[in-house]
Structure 1
Amino acid sequence: MPAGLRQVVPGIPGTPLPRGILGASCTNVIDVTEDEIHQLNGVEWLAVGCCPARDWPDPCEDPVPGAPTDKEFCRPTTEHATPITIYAGAECSAPGFSYEEAREQALASLALGEQHAIEAGFMRTKLTQDAVDITPPEGPLNIAQGIASLEGCLAENYGGVGTLHIPAGVAALLGCCNVLHEDPATGTLATWAGNCAVIGAGYSYLNQGPGGIPADAGAAWLYITGPLVIRRGPVDVIPDRSRASASVNIRNNDRRVLAERTVVVGTTCTICAVQVMACP
């Protein structure tokens, strides 16, 4: 076959990881309407279920040693979630790279990578800021012990189904100890206690613990939270079609187009973190 110029073909499409923060069926993703757009400035609410229900002994029976003598009352706490902006940009020399091509590139990159960006943003702005580190003084646990510790931590503070946040880099280890099982009807990954699991590339990318502390060599940070609600805004393309000429920098003749959206990720009650060994 004679040599010649390479044939230009469409790019290879990708598929977002199915267990990520947007793909996991335990995450409630809400695409906000125009009437709800103000929610993208952040939201707040009164926490529900963070004060556990307790048992009370029969007053007609003899007192049990250690039994409570007064009933406990909890004041509801106000929780909030702050906005995270995620984006993807396309850049190339303007000759031969039209505005529409740049726009398509930016939108495709955002669609494929938004889970990664949301996970990293949520880890950076919420998980690392509010989590309680339950790693023992002896150091990282194996992955089964780590998940068991996280589930115990959440159960002591919250009565509902929680969400595990697991870096993609240790996901393969979950099968070694039969830690998770899949619901064939929904595809949900859950522990035997019933907590749901999100397996995220963004968590692997940062791999940070409380206070932004990096994981030890050969280790990874895992988290558990209450349920997740993600509010997503519309995708904005900058500049839009009406200002397509503004995408070109006249100094170097490069074209830049940006696609971005705002998300607000909310969770509730206690957040626990533990460091685990990234080996079987």
Structure 2
Amino acid sequence: MAGMRKRVEPIPGEPLPHGILGACADIQDVDDVHELLGVEWLSLGCCPVNVWRDPCLSDESPGEESPGALLKEFCRPTSEHADPITVYAGAECSTMGWSYAEARTHAEASLALGEQAAVEAGFWSDTLAMTAADLTPDAGPVDIAQGVAALEGCLAEQYGGRGVLHVPAGVAALLGCCNLVREDPASGNLRTLVGNCAITGAGYSAMNTGPGNLPADPGTAWLYITGPVVIRRGPTMTVPDRPSASVNTRTNDRRVLVERTYVVATTCFVCAIQVVTSP
């Protein structure tokens, strides 16, 4: 009976709408290979803005030196960097079953659907989990509302501008229990009441590790918050780029690989906290 089945078109899919390649990130398509090898920059907006109190209006004596020279603080910008994340999808088939064009189409469709989750997993493990300050109290994980509040407080104190909340997709439903995020009608992205954008990522769910990439305990999850996210995205590359080179003559199998390089950057500070996901 299986031989009588009719071949039809595959069922198409689409990435989750609020992932890292959604509206929360500034995505720039670049062709410069140097940018795709990694980038570095001087931090902007990460220095504190202080309140100066004139000592002449207080009981303190400024002495012989200028009050400004004595009391005003100066901040040296720090160098920041982001490394490349290369994601790929490969198709393997018998040369008797698929042509090179069909194998390439299959690999391209796989990449289009899954690259967002792969970029999320790479950014989570390479950047978020490796640079975050852990806000989890000594008493242990907190509920999700307390977790979001602590993260937004951390970002507000360290940065002061709008940032991005990074949430595993498996935890996203809990954000609705306390009205923690709302969909912005203008942009279509998720925003907290403070105004930070929220990414709910499938790749984040796959990782779900804390600082140092330690796995989350059962019934818990990790949330992170960062400054703005800028993503440099290269073009897709197909390997090999011609039919003959895709065939392994020993096995008569065809292999086609499609890959793309991303450089995901954020700035200033990363905070993390562990939250409870089940009673």
Q: TM-score range by the shorter chain?
A: over 0.9
Could you tell me which amino acid in structure 2 is paired with residue 32 of structure 1? V
- Structure 1 unmatched ranges of 5 or more: none
How far the C-alpha of 1:153 sits from its partner, in A, is 1.1
How far the C-alpha of 1:140 sits from its partner, in A, is 0.9
SS of residue in 2 equivalent to 1:273: strand
Q: Pick closer, same or farther for the CA change 1:3–1:101 going to 2, 3 Å.
A: closer
1:221-246 Cα deviation digits (max 9, x unpaired)? 110010000000000010012xx112
How far the C-alpha of 1:197 sits from its partner, in A, is 0.5
Residues in 1 aligned to 2:2 and 2:26: alpha-carbon distance in whole angstroms: 53
Residues in 1 aligned to 2:250 and 2:94: alpha-carbon distance in whole angstroms: 12
The aligned runs of 1:1-280 (5 Å cut-off) are 5-23=4-22, 25-33=23-31, 36-62=32-58, 70-241=71-242, 244-279=243-278
How far the C-alpha of 1:38 sits from its partner, in A, is 1.5
1:132-160 Cα deviation digits (max 9, x unpaired)? 11111111111110011111111111021
Q: Percent identity, please.
A: 65
Residues in 1 aligned to 2:238 and 2:232: alpha-carbon distance in whole angstroms: 19
How far the C-alpha of 1:63 sits from its partner, in A, is 5.4
Residues in 2 aligned to 1:265 and 1:120: alpha-carbon distance in whole angstroms: 12
Question: Which one is further off, 244-253 or 232-241?
Answer: 244-253
How far the C-alpha of 1:96 sits from its partner, in A, is 1.3
How far the C-alpha of 1:251 sits from its partner, in A, is 2.0
How far the C-alpha of 1:94 sits from its partner, in A, is 1.8
Could you tell me which amino acid in structure 2 is paired with residue 269 of structure 1? C
Tell me, yes or no, if the aligned pair for 1:119 and 1:203 is still in contact at 8 Å. Answer: yes
- Structure 2 unmatched ranges of 5 or more: 61-67
Residues in 1 aligned to 2:269 and 2:9: alpha-carbon distance in whole angstroms: 47
Question: Which one is further off, 100-109 or 154-163?
Answer: 154-163
Equivalenced residue count is 271
How far the C-alpha of 1:60 sits from its partner, in A, is 4.6
Tell me, yes or no, if the aligned pair for 1:40 and 1:263 is still in contact at 8 Å. Answer: yes
Residues in 2 aligned to 1:4 and 1:17: alpha-carbon distance in whole angstroms: 35
Q: Pick closer, same or farther for the CA change 1:178–1:98 going to 2, 3 Å.
A: same
In structure 1, what is the equivalent of residue 64 of structure 2? none
Q: Pick closer, same or farther for the CA change 1:3–1:233 going to 2, 3 Å.
A: closer
How far the C-alpha of 1:3 sits from its partner, in A, is 9.2
Residues in 2 aligned to 1:109 and 1:191: alpha-carbon distance in whole angstroms: 32
Could you tell me which amino acid in structure 1 is paired with residue 185 of structure 2? P
Could you tell me which amino acid in structure 2 is paired with residue 167 of structure 1? P
How far the C-alpha of 1:26 sits from its partner, in A, is 2.2
Q: Pick closer, same or farther for the CA change 1:37–1:253 going to 2, 3 Å.
A: same
SS of residue in 2 equivalent to 1:156: helix
Question: Which one is further off, 71-80 or 249-258?
Answer: 249-258
CA RMSD of aligned residues (A): 1.8
Could you tell me which amino acid in structure 2 is paired with residue 26 of structure 1? C
Residues in 2 aligned to 1:4 and 1:240: alpha-carbon distance in whole angstroms: 33
